[in-house]
Amino acid sequence: MTTALKTVQAGEIEIAYAESGAGEPVILLHGGESTHVQYDTFRPLLGDGIRAIAYDQRDSGASVNPPDPYGIPDLAQDCAALIRGLGHERAHIFGVSFGGLIALQVAVSVPDVVQSLTVGAAFADASALRAPVASEIIELPPSRRDARMLTFALSERGQADEELVAELRSMLVHRSPEADARRLAAIRGYDLTDRLPEIAAPTLLIYGEDDPAARPGIGQGIAEAIQGARLEVIAGARHGITVEFTRETARLLRHFVLAHPSRPAR
């Protein structure tokens, strides 16, 4: 599925996004090695009653930003600016991996725009950079990460599926060394551990049973820190819960979003 991109201006940042459907606004935050295309297959699976919006973060895809350093809080403000720029007071936030860091930050820094929060395969601090396999991938030049990403994201069964492997490869992006460095630098110093109890939005955590980095225990720790949060573990899944286990993840997100409807858009 391909959709023509639209843009929202947020100061010096031009945010490019793709959308499908109508109804509850759901903002989809992609992982560190991808762009909005990560959700091209995922978006329509959210079904009727949902406006699914996937956007390109800074230094990703068609979004435009100055070559200045930034942190996860800046990326959270970009997300909030997109929500408001689309005419919504609040939206449902869904982020996985790098996008999950941003999603948590939005819920802490800009809670008034969050109707519900769903986070997958993510950490609450910069230990993501030291996690097994993830740290190995980060040390590789961007052009050499693809092969390692396959075993990181997909189960052995998934790696044997040629169509699935091709789909994952199509989602991966090779940034310039400068852009890649800015993305990695944004994570260093990130730590929301002590602020997780501030999150008041309904929260769902989705983790892969066999994720070699963001293990279910990480999700359990986050869930325990946020009042009323729930953890769902997808059996057999590694890090690529929105790729190999697209339908399972989309079903969990859809049910959670529709269980926490938002106020009408402005």
Q: Which of 83-87, 107-111, 177-181, 208-212 shows the lowest mean pLDDT across its residues?
A: 177-181
Predicted local distance difference test score (pLDDT) of residue 240: 97
Stretch 232-258: mean pLDDT: 98
Of 15, 36, 35, 21, whose CA–CA distance to 86 is shortest? 15
Angle between helices 177-187 and 72-85 in degrees, nearest 10: 100
pLDDT in tens, 4-55: 899 999 999 999 999 999 999 999 999 999 999 999 999 999 999 999 999 9
User: How is residue 95 written in tokens?
Assistant: 């982020």
The fraction of the chain above a pLDDT of 90, given in percent, is 87
37 contacts 61 by C-beta, under 8 angstroms:
yes
Predicted local distance difference test score (pLDDT) of residue 174: 87
Global pTM value: 0.95
Q: What are phi and psi of 192, to 5 degrees?
A: -110, 10
